[in-house]
Amino acid sequence: MNSNQYLRDNYAPVPEEHTVTDLEVTGHIPEHLDGRYLRNGPNPISEVDPAGYHWFMGDGMVHGVRLRDGRAQWYRNRWVRSPAAAAALGERPTRHNYRAGGAAIGANTNVIGHAGRTIALIEGGAANYTLTEELDTLGPCDFGGTLTGGYTAHPKRDPATGELHAVSYHYGRGNTVQYSVIGADGRARRTVDIRVTGSPMMHDFALTENHVVFYDLPVTFDARDAAEIAVPRWMRWPTRLVMSALIGRIRVPDPISARIGDMSLKANAGLPYTWDLSYPARVGVMPRDGDSNDVRWFEVDPCYVFHTLNAYDEGDTIVCDVVRHHTMFAKDPHGPDDGTPSRLHRWTIDLTHNKISETQLDDCEQEFPRADERLLGRRHRYGYSLHADTAAIRRHDLVNATHTSRSLGTGAQGSEFVFVPNSGNTSEDDGILMGYVYDAATERSNLTILDAASLETVATVHIPVRVPHGFHGNWISA
């Protein structure tokens, strides 16, 4: 058995790309669903070293199902063609645009639709990639030359304006992260550098109608790990000294930073970010039109947050619902499995009295929280998440403080489920949830569609191949 859990069972990569048309369906796909469900995740192309592989660093592969007129027209899976991925597949790599970010890893974390483009997303200074409707790679995405140095895996779309708000990090940025706003036209209209304590891994953030909320938490860049991942043994000591002196202090210009990043990051290798208990845990609040001088910082207990359910303003208070981990990357060198609880918590930030309080909302261990994105940044009642063991979906009624779980079945393993509203101007929770579910008995996967309110199955799209565990996806309407 493989010693690295992220290379076996349904974490194991699939060896080829598929195009399957006219998929079998059980139940009835709602007629109003006209678009693609897409999800991204790591899928190493070649053999990797189990001892050194971190799940977050695998070659990116996007999986998609096209729905229309109550039918599942196709399933496709495609590797994101970074130069290294193209070469590993025996293809001729195209010239890389280093203004868009580093070329070491094909975007493997999320996939969105914006301004008529399909974009595979990653973070940490690596380049994002534009895809065709059929998921083939077109090339690196720098939003029309308006945003350099990489982007984020978790942009937030303001439902009122259609703009994408984001917070991007990279160890080459010194002790800053970048807040950006991409217009509905696909071009950056605003970028702001925000000072932080060092070089944190800021995977997500929160957005309200009036504020941006930053998570400056103690998972930080580790120069020792970076040197061991990418540098010959005889150069590791001087490399560590130089990187330790620079990282979190000095900003490197973006194209140069991207090339340096390619020397210190490798696809299908280790992740140079670790738990750092000496790093102060803080949450920062900035008015949307503010800058770094306007950020107000609030100390919290040491923890890590990968994902925000939603956040909203309530007078002079900000309510922020997140899945909170006690630690991260302190014990497991291969992925996010420190063996500590991951539960839904609420941060309530009182801007009048300059204090923050924390409440645990649910005892269940969970991840991948989602909400009705028509209410992003607005007061929400409902949320949905995946049990930490991937065997069930969880529905949260945060007004009545009730939580309901739905088992996905014997031997079934789920993934992130996305909320899609029913047609018309429907109320919150009036919609469906969709996500990939793996059946261990058949070693195949389904696209499962559930009623969001009852969690009952609406339809199952049968995919004749396996979709490995991955990260994030979205419904992209036609």
Band the pLDDT of 104: cuts 50, 70, 90: confident
Residue 65 tokens read as 């199902």
- Tell me the CATH number at 169: 2.130.10.10
Residue 242: which residues within 8 A CB-CB, separation 6 or more?
none
Q: Write out pLDDT tens, residues 282-308.
A: 999 999 999 999 999 999 999 999 999
Average pLDDT over residues 49-73: 97
Tell me the three-class secondary structure of the chain, residue by residue: CCCCHHHCHHHCCCCCCEEEECCEEEECCCCCCCEEEEEEEECCCCCCCCCCCCHHHCCEEEEEEEEECCEEEEEEEEECCCHHHHHHCCCCCCCCCHHHCECCCCCCCEEEEECCEEEEECCCCECEEEECCCCCEEEEECCCCCCCCCCCCCCEECCCCCCEEEEECCCCECCEEEEEEECCCCCEEEEEEEECCCCECCCCCEECCCEEEEEECCEEECHHHHHHHHCCHHHHHHHHHHHHHHCCCCECCHHHHHHHHHHHCCCCCCCCEEECCCCCCEEEEEECCCCHHHCEEEECCCCEEEEEEEEEEECCEEEEEEEEECCCCCCCCCCCCCCCCEEEEEEEEECCCCEEEEEECCCCCEEEEECCHHHCCCCCCEEEEEECCCCEEEEEECCCCEEEEEECCCCEECCCCEEEECCCCCCCCCEEEEEEEEECCCCEEEEEEEECCCCCEEEEEEECCCCCCCCCEEEEEC
Band the pLDDT of 247: cuts 50, 70, 90: low
Band the pLDDT of 440: cuts 50, 70, 90: very high
Angle CA 380–316–344, to nearest 5: 40
Above 70 in pLDDT, residue 365?
yes
**What's the pLDDT score for residue 224?**
76
Instruction: Lowest mean pLDDT of 35-49, 314-328, 415-429, name the range.
Output: 415-429
**What's the pLDDT score for residue 222?**
86
Q: Write out pLDDT tens, residues 148-185.
A: 999 999 999 999 999 999 999 998 888 999 999 999 99
pTM, 2 dp: 0.94
Above 90 in pLDDT, residue 243?
no
CA separation for the pair 305, 326 (Å, rounded) = 9
Q: Which amino acid is at 43?
A: N
**What's the pLDDT score for residue 317?**
98
**What's the pLDDT score for residue 426?**
86
Above 90 in pLDDT, residue 118?
yes
**What's the pLDDT score for residue 245?**
54
CA separation for the pair 232, 296 (Å, rounded) = 42
**What's the pLDDT score for residue 363?**
97
Band the pLDDT of 3: cuts 50, 70, 90: confident
CA separation for the pair 370, 382 (Å, rounded) = 9
Q: Write out pLDDT tens, residues 181-208.
A: 999 999 999 999 999 999 999 999 999 9
CA separation for the pair 473, 307 (Å, rounded) = 14
Q: Which residue has the tokens 């060896």?
A: 15
Count of the separate structural domains present in the chain? 1
**What's the pLDDT score for residue 309?**
98
Domain residues for the domain of 240 are 5-477
CA separation for the pair 107, 133 (Å, rounded) = 17
The strand pairing partners of 18, in sequence order, are 77
CA separation for the pair 255, 242 (Å, rounded) = 19
Band the pLDDT of 244: cuts 50, 70, 90: low
What percent of the chain has pLDDT above 90? 85
Average pLDDT over residues 76-101: 93
Above 70 in pLDDT, residue 226?
no
How remote is the C-alpha of 446 from its chain's centroid? 21
Q: Write out pLDDT tens, residues 250-273.
A: 566 555 555 555 555 678 889 999
What percent of the chain has pLDDT above 70? 91
Average pLDDT over residues 68-82: 98
**What's the pLDDT score for residue 29?**
98
Average pLDDT over residues 52-68: 97
Above 90 in pLDDT, residue 116?
yes
CA separation for the pair 367, 364 (Å, rounded) = 10
**What's the pLDDT score for residue 7?**
97
**What's the pLDDT score for residue 286?**
98
**What's the pLDDT score for residue 20?**
98
Band the pLDDT of 241: cuts 50, 70, 90: low
Band the pLDDT of 26: cuts 50, 70, 90: very high
CA separation for the pair 377, 355 (Å, rounded) = 21
